[in-house]
Structure 1
């Protein structure tokens, strides 16, 4: 067995990942408190700042050496096909919620995950402004600032506090759901479900691997699910990094939301 095939002590590695992501958060926080980070627009007109790049470079230096032979995928690094042949890939969003960062809103997070054979096995989502860290490792549980998380799973949609875009929430109004607090950063929105700040969360199509991979393993280890509108579980490290619409919730609630969204879409198509 080669060293790259040897099993990884995920619980131990999670502790190291947690510390590195927290350090990355401090780097970003320095720019955030300074309030004058240089910014520009990328080719898709999305914003980026020098803080994004600084954190990206820091994580790219610190994370790959933790797992021999691991590859790299980040929102702020030019992608290559080399990662597709690797067993392990680090998937990173240096600052998820760059718009919030630019606007001075303390809702942005640093998000980092380790994916093995297309499935996330480690994840940390850190809000440096609030000193709140969500972490999870496959088979070892999910935690918020060290306290273990476990989600309740009740049936029914009435009264559920759901975070997501208004276009999706309005279609569920007839089911009695309640609009939850809006979160700029999708990773932050998803982990709030694991932590109990939201009962469920929705995302429009076109989220990327780096938006969701870390939160995905945290949700699952807390007893929740992350599924597409079709019920499929997202897979990672494919040639394309985009995903369809997403639902995050405890299992029964996730299934109920999937059914409700399908019913509402069918009703709209019938009316057209």
Structure 2
């Protein structure tokens, strides 16, 4: 985007300062959530009974909010566990939060959940962290920098395109792909946290993933930046990067992958739809 091309040294210093802030906040919130892990926290249901939310989600959200909003009172706020309002739309910069991405896994005693925190400016992330405390994994990235996992640089997979790519993809979606594309995809087991799944692409553990419609800003923003700085991309079916902090915070179908795999996957999806 144009404003990124015009970034100054002052902007870079601010984003790095923001990264330090959200990294500390995510660690504290993750430790709060970890205290509830495997402890049968109280659970409620939202979205007409389709999505669980637990006392751990609310406690982690409260910790994040108490740290971040006090430190950056001029930033907007969007969190899965905070009632949304229109104020964020008037802010150039905001925090986008998921206090526990993968709540179902968390409640089932599975390790694959994480705290997701991003700083978004003009619709795109400029700093992002994912903290998976049960796995002792910490992912981070800042605009213009490299993606890190536990302090070490990570990059996307270099598996050649003529070898099957390992994809986290729903079975029903894969079945609908053209036969030629199916044979180039090795399906891996379901990963309940979308943010963590995208981080797996950034870390080269898998070659890509397909995201069904109705993901949300808080599922994506931090992981999006981490993947980008690791050499991959998250895009819609037209090849465009998602924008955040719009009136509508849900998204359509998306793909996350290395560049060659992404082009191959988008071609295959186009064939599936006859486009």
TM-score normalised per structure 2: 0.90
Unmatched runs of 5 consecutive residues or more in structure 1: 1-5, 268-272
- Aligned partner of 1:116 among 117, 121, 138: 121
1:82 paired with 2:87, answer yes
- Aligned partner of 1:100 among 89, 101, 105: 105
Tell me the residue number matched to 2:234: 226
Give the CA deviation at 1:44.
3.1
Tell me the residue number matched to 2:168: 163
Tell me the residue number matched to 1:61: 66
8 Å CA contact retained: 2:89, 2:246: yes
> Secondary structure at the residue paired with 2:192?
coil
8 Å CA contact retained: 1:153, 1:252: no
Task: Return the alpha-carbon distance in structure 2 between the equivalents of residues 169 and 197 of structure 1.
Answer: 19
Tell me the residue number matched to 1:129: 134
> Secondary structure at the residue paired with 1:233?
coil
Give the CA deviation at 1:153.
5.2
1:41 paired with 2:45, answer yes
8 Å CA contact retained: 2:18, 2:119: no
Tell me the residue number matched to 2:18: 13
8 Å CA contact retained: 2:156, 2:207: no
Unmatched runs of 5 consecutive residues or more in structure 2: 1-9
- Aligned partner of 2:199 among 191, 208, 211: 191
> Secondary structure at the residue paired with 1:91?
strand
Task: Return the alpha-carbon distance in structure 1 between the equivalents of residues 172 and 142 of structure 2.
Answer: 33
8 Å CA contact retained: 2:167, 2:209: yes
1:241 paired with 2:245, answer no
> Secondary structure at the residue paired with 1:37?
coil
Task: Return the alpha-carbon distance in structure 2 between the equivalents of residues 211 and 199 of structure 1.
Answer: 19
Root-mean-square deviation (CA), in Å? Answer: 1.7
8 Å CA contact retained: 1:157, 1:256: no
8 Å CA contact retained: 1:154, 1:252: no
Q: Which deviations, in whole Å up to 9, do the C-alpha atoms of 1:225-257 show, x marking residues without a partner? A: 000112111000000001111111112211111
Give the CA deviation at 1:158.
4.3
- Aligned partner of 1:50 among 52, 55, 65: 55
